[in-house]
């Protein structure tokens, strides 16, 4: 299975900060004894960034409009986009 959208965005943010997303982080203090991959520290930020995109702009809906009879369906395009973003936000929790 492909990486979740949360992981993809988190990895990119990690790289943008100049970090190796696959580096292992060792916890300290309350997190002592735990390890994780560095990209996982960016997962909550990735969720927030994706959530901002949940409501498409009018221009995005215009670009996504297409029906079987070629008519514009602005509302449908927006609902499809929102459903896709909702799925991206939920898939990482599985």
Residue numbers of the domain that contains 72: 56-94
The string of pLDDT tens digits covering residues 29-77 is: 888 989 999 999 999 999 999 999 888 887 777 777 654 444 556 677 7
Total domains in the chain come to 2
Beta-carbon contacts of 79 under 8 Å, excluding residues fewer than 6 positions away, are none
pLDDT for residue 8 = 93
Q: Let me know whether 16 and 45 are in one domain.
A: yes
SS3 26: strand
On the CB side of 32, CA atoms within 13 Å amount to 2
Stated pTM of the model: 0.74
Q: Let me know whether 69 and 23 are in one domain.
A: no
Q: Let me know whether 42 and 70 are in one domain.
A: no
């Amino acid at each position: 299975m492909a990486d979740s959208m949360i992981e993809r965005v988190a990895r990119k943010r990690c790289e943008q900060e100049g970090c190796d997303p696959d580096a292992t982080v060792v916890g300290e203090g309350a997190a002592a004894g735990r390890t994780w991959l560095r990209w996982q520290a960016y997962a909550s930020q990735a969720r927030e960034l994706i959530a901002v995109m949940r409501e498409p702009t009018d221009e995005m809906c215009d670009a996504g409009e297409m029906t079987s009879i070629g008519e514009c369906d602005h509302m449908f395009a927006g609902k499809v986009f929102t459903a896709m973003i909702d799925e991206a936000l939920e898939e990482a929790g599985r």
